[in-house]
Amino acid sequence: MARKFFGTDGIRGRTNAGVMTAATAMKVGQAAGAFFLRGDHRHRVVIGKDTRLSGYMMESAMVAGFTSVGMDVVLLGPMPTPAVAMLTRSMRADLGVMISASHNPFEDNGIKLFGPDGYKLSDEDELAIEALLATEIPLADASEVGRARRIEDARGRYIHAIKASLPDNVRLDGLRIVVDCANGAAYNVAPSVLWELGAEVIAIGVEPNGRNINLNVGSTSLQALKDKVREVRADIGIALDGDADRLIVVDEKSQAVDGDQIMALIGSQLHRQGKLTGGGVVATVMSNLGLERYLQALGLTLERTSVGDRYVLERMREGGFNLGGEQSGHMILADHATTGDGTIAALQVLAALVDSGKPASELLHQFDPVPQLLKNVRFDAKASGGKPLDKQAVKDVIAHAEAQLTGRGRLVIRPSGTEPVIRVMAEGDDAAEVEQVVDTICDAVRKAA
């Protein structure tokens, strides 16, 4: 069955256009609610959101959808995605919903669904809900319509869970930390966690107004964090995204540290402590070859998956791994969370910083990255038939590039799951060769499109 609504990470799009309308949100609530009406208990769904303007509209629509099929709704208000996953499980809910478009601008929004175990839904469950969206969903009898209520202590519950990811004796006294919350879902939570653990906290991106989420702040826009780290002479800077499920770090020299280096640090720490399970780390095809070589030198493996933290998590669960993530900053620590959690990952980095006594620039440089280049080629889907990678001329160029890099590097080419863009990534020991390969493929895609 072709997917109309669900992409690589739930449903996402521009507000009031395409699939991201109030009408669709209500229908998704009805379909997901009907799908999870199992057993004769009173059914419950937990709903959180980030801080974008359309969150009010989408939240109300989903409440209408869920209550109309007989589900009770618990509203969390603005909370990180991992908080929704955690509270879904701890409150024994049948379903969890996060209304967020993650790192996208405020004009976009999205819907992420979690099962009662706190994990994102499988492809099979999403397809089943898609099928229901095309049907007339039975509504509850008037006497069985659901209720909705808002809980006030969600923030405290989540803060307690985050702090529990560290031993009781770990404190952050003496650390000056800049935390950038992207004017998003963690604007209240992350600074509080760091302060309660003893750090001196300078917070930016903590004044959401509905329109400024991810705007020149957060993990995809690091300049404000770099400037503030330099200005206040901080020991480290922490950048979260709009829904706080990813982490990028800035060291005391204002240099950015990506998810690969963070995984290398946390993975090596867990390995030395005898706590790393699965024999390695799970990451995507986009992670740097340098990370793979670093782990191999420690006797560990790097298992690669398709792009998307849900695929990383699926492989982690299959293979018994407790650490995985993405170069873009999604960090999954399975001992503490069922999805990516930027704040929990940040605490592991900060604990290592305290323990080592080293500056962040030294601690977070675990390996030398192999030269890597990623370029995006946007194309006209209608004019190209939507599949420029199927053109023989493009296939020939790609085949030649793969042969050229054999034994010296890697090539990853993939279409975006959410927009008409082809992503071309190559890496290898020769930076000039990597650039030449990427440019040649991009030119071929443009001509074909």
Residues serving a catalytic function are 102
Give DSSP secondary structure letters for 141-153: PGGG---EEE-S-
Q: How far is CA 71 from CA 28, 88, 92, in A?
A: 13, 14, 13
Rounded Cα distance between 128 and 117, Å, is: 18
Rounded Cα distance between 228 and 204, Å, is: 8
Residue 396 burial by CB count (10 A; 0-12/13-18/19+): exposed, middle or buried?
exposed
Residue 217 burial by CB count (10 A; 0-12/13-18/19+): exposed, middle or buried?
buried
Q: How far is CA 19 from CA 23, 35, 86, 355, in A?
A: 9, 20, 27, 48
What count of other Cβ atoms lies within 10 Å of the Cβ of residue 362? 11
Q: Give which of 246, 244, 239, 207 is closest to 224, Cα–Cα.
A: 239
Rounded Cα distance between 73 and 29, Å, is: 11
Phi, psi (degrees; rounded to nearest 5) at 64 = -60, -45
In the block, residue with structure tokens 């929004």: 109
Rounded Cα distance between 107 and 400, Å, is: 41
Phi, psi (degrees; rounded to nearest 5) at 60 = -60, -40
Phi, psi (degrees; rounded to nearest 5) at 319 = -100, 0
With residue 77 as reference, give the H or E element that holds it. Answer: strand 72-78
Residue 387 burial by CB count (10 A; 0-12/13-18/19+): exposed, middle or buried?
middle
